[in-house]
Amino acid sequence: MSKRKVGIVGATGYTGSELVRLLIDHPDVSIEVITSESKAGTKFSKINPHFHTRFEMELEPLENLDNYELDLVFLALPHGVSMDFIKDWDPGNYRVIDLSGDFRLGSAGEYEQWYKKVHSAPDFIDKAAFGLPELFRDQIRNADLVANPGCYPTSAILALAPLIKNDVIEPSQIVVDSKSGVTGAGAKAKQSTHFPEVFGNFSAYGLLNHRHTPEIQLNLEKFSGRETEIIFTPHLLPIDRGILTTTYSTPSGEVDGDYLGEWYYSFYEKEHFIRVVDHPPNVKHVRGSNYCDIHVTYDERTNRIVTVSTIDNLVKGAAGQAVQNMNLMFGFIERSGLQISPLSP
């Protein structure tokens, strides 16, 4: 069978580079074109020396995209830029996986409220499938546009979905506390991610108004059919990659704490990339892989259910999940190209 042809728009950022890392060894895919407006004409390995001799393709301007017959395009673009691509190019000849937040929310109004920007392609919002395979596999298979989830929402939604779906917790009393490495902020230099600011430091940001809040709520509601309300606080860790999310929720009835772990294991037992563990996981246990590790426990003293989940924000939180979605869309084995063991230490 001939390989599917894909392109990566915006290939020089962290997620674009991670897509290349995963796709160059994918048995069923061929990377045909990679684009960058600022680095066009430069070899990819010149910008990313760790790809020397592994991937020497030259970056091209976006206008060259039509020179290729593609089956799928990955948009590794910033928020607010992907929707302009969809509006201007109106892709009908290939399918699209968008790694920005432009098509993750429920309406243009909600997008404008949280992203403070008018949506330029509102007609496509309802056409986009939310790309969390473990919960929305059927919608992803048939979609022409997939909105790849945010990294924080991936770690939170997967940890909370079993509890919400089975009416185990009160859906309006959920606290999500997340910590991320600095690659979650993207490759472009910022004062807040400057080494002297981050090293030896630990800080909260986006307090009460982070744009991943509605993404977590909306997609938990889609999956469970229950109105959900969360308070979400992200933090910046002085590490390069990885997310650890802790959630706190109130049971809606009696809880058998000894049974919770077994129940989670049963809920996710057919999922290749969800590992239910009997101890709180750490970020190095998933580093470089597409795994999400989840631990769940019950605190009888405070009557709270606590979950701890970890992912690599660039893999399961971005590029790895995008490849997993691509596999579903093309009917490949879902774990193709993603059977990578974590790096530790």
CA distances from residue 335 to 58, 80, 291, 294 in whole angstroms, order as listed: 28, 30, 11, 19
Catalytic residue among 59, 75, 151, 182: 151
CB-CB neighbours of 142 under 10 Å = 9
Residue 96, CA atoms < 13 Å, CB-side half-sphere? 25
What's the CA gap between 267 and 278, in Å, rounded? 15
292 classed as catalytic: no
The angle formed by the CA atoms of residues 231, 234 and 238, to the nearest 5 degrees, is: 160
Alpha-carbon torsion, ordered 5, 145, 34, 22, to 10 deg:
-70
Question: 3-class DSSP state for residue 285?
Answer: helix
Tokens of 216: 């977590």
What's the CA gap between 336 and 28, in Å, rounded? 8
What's the CA gap between 28 and 2, in Å, rounded? 8
- Catalogue the active-site residues: 151
